[in-house]
Homo-oligomer: A and B are copies of this chain.
């Protein structure tokens, strides 16, 4: 048949130019192998529950009661639900007349926004106004609303850290703007490189791009570093000097696996800098219950907080938010994340034990995985300071690069395909949406596989990598062991 209107050649080129990293050859092959009976370890995406992480009991008890408020009229409810979960569900139901089935105001339920403001005050020591907080269906939805407002045409540029999280490139492409890359310094543990940042701004301007905003991801994704206070301060000063809105993605702020670089919010650093700086930077901060240590990717709840944003711009954001109605139970989940059970309550001991156990296990797995990569020939990996990922560099021998070119594949994709075939471990190559410095090759893997499987996974990785390096060893090009 003919496809007269929506044929693939006549679609919006902004959509066609958008790259989807999750539909390529590697993923199709993984599903094929799975069908053939091979056990696949889906370490390609930060989807914790799919990899066996159990939901936290208390938030899910409250969510269940909000779904079925009639349970609270049942005399047996106390046999299945603790009293504080019941009390909390009643609080949320009272905040939104009609409960989870009734749409809320476009900014989200006021009571939840107040819980978030309280959390920000406790975290940073500076008050937050619930009217500057918008609840979203996760960060991807919030980022899209903001970029939709910020990008007017292809001459508007948004700076994005490389290696990058593909959400940002996809959304910029979708709205027809220009991605302006800045490179993180792998040698310096993926911290910022201010010389490169400045160069990147100048280069973009020379091409006629109006650089509008800068995206920072802290802790990094896929790079997992926690930024130092000094770097954050430097970045804020740069954004003010260069007139950029700072968009800061802090969705992994509670997933920290070391004590040298604690998480510190961009907003706190800004406020610490005092007047007039603290009221000069236009800052938008994102957080999410669909990420973080709750890891509820399938439930969509997040927020962004606006600092120093013009009130009329807030109204325009409200308009965009009104068009895409959000889900109310995700809002409640976000509230439960920022206001967990306090010490002394019925559910506190269990909540504390469960969340500590998740974070302890992630910390252990960050070590096992980073160490495993670093023990592998020609592989070097910065320690996963936070978030959910390892992003090791694999120094591919010339012979492997040549073999990849012969096969018509990017060298890192070639490596990931071989890894998948040999071990069932599904990772993503740096070239598959993350990007990397020219001539370097990386893979991204989540630290999410089960703790008990992790040693075996890293052993099989090491064995595969050893075989691979042997196969393609270039006698005149042997790299030093790390």
Given contacts A106-B22, A137-B137, A137-B300, contact A213 B295 (CB under 8 A): no
Give the distance in Å from the alpha carbon of A244 to the alpha carbon of B4 in the complex. 8
In Å, the complex CA distance between A433 and B279 comes to 37
With the chains together, A63 CA to B280 CA distance in Å? 46
Q: Which residues of B contact A103 (CB under 8 A)?
A: 45, 47, 50, 297-298
Q: Which of A15-61 contact B (CB under 8 A)?
A: 15-16, 18, 20, 22-23, 45, 47-53, 55, 57, 60-61
A129 to chain B, nearest CB (A): 15
Separation of A243 and B6 alpha carbons in the complex (Å): 10
Cβ of A435 < 8 Å from any Cβ of B?
no
Report B-chain residues with C-beta under 8 Å of the C-beta of A45: 103
Q: Please give the distance in Å from A340's CB to the nearest CB on chain B.
A: 16
Contacts of A53 in B (CB 8 A): 98, 101
In the complex, how many angstroms separate the beta carbon of A434 from the nearest chain B beta carbon? 15
A245 within 8 A of B: yes
- Say whether A76 faces chain B, with CB atoms less than 8 Å apart: yes
Determine how close the nearest CB of chain B comes to the CB of A348; give it in whole angstroms: 18
Q: Is the CB of A8 within 8 A of B310?
A: yes
**Partner-contacting stretch, out of A118-126, A182-190, A314-322, A458-466:** A314-322
Which residues of A (74-129) have their CB < 8 Å from a CB of B?
74, 76-77, 79-80, 96-104, 106
**Residues of B close to A49: CB separation below 8 A:** 98-99, 101-102
The reply to whether A316 and B63 contact each other, CB–CB distance below 8 Å, is no
The answer for the CA separation of A7 and B315 in the assembled complex, in Å, is 11
Residue A443 lies at the interface, judged by CB distance under 8 Å to chain B? no
Q: Does A337 contact B (CB under 8 A)?
A: no
Interface residues in A123-174 by Cβ distance below 8 A to B read: 137-138, 140-141, 144, 148-152, 167, 170-171, 174
**How far is B6's CA from A295's CA once the two chains are assembled, in angstroms?**
32
Size bin of chain A's contact surface? 35 or more
| Contact, CB under 8 Å: B50 / A98 | yes
Q: Which of A64-72, A229-237, A391-399, A415-423 participates in binding chain B?
A: A64-72
* Cβ–Cβ < 8 Å partners of A319 in chain B: 15, 18, 20, 23, 170
Contact (Cβ within 8 A) B47 A102: yes
Measured CA separation A77–B76 after assembly (Å) = 9
A250 contacts the other chain (CB 8 A) = no
Q: Is the CB of B282 within 8 A of A148?
A: no
Apart from A48-B101, A299-B329, 15 more pairs, CB < 8 Å: A1-B308, A4-B282, A5-B213, A15-B316, A15-B320, A55-B101, A57-B70, A60-B67, A64-B64, A77-B80, A100-B298, A101-B299, A102-B297, A103-B297, A140-B323
A sample of 23 inter-chain contacts (CB < 8 A) reads: A3-B309, A5-B243, A6-B282, A6-B313, A8-B310, A8-B312, A8-B315, A13-B152, A15-B316, A15-B320, A20-B318, A20-B323, A23-B315, A49-B101, A60-B70, A64-B64, A76-B76, A80-B80, A103-B298, A170-B319, A297-B325, A299-B328, A300-B327
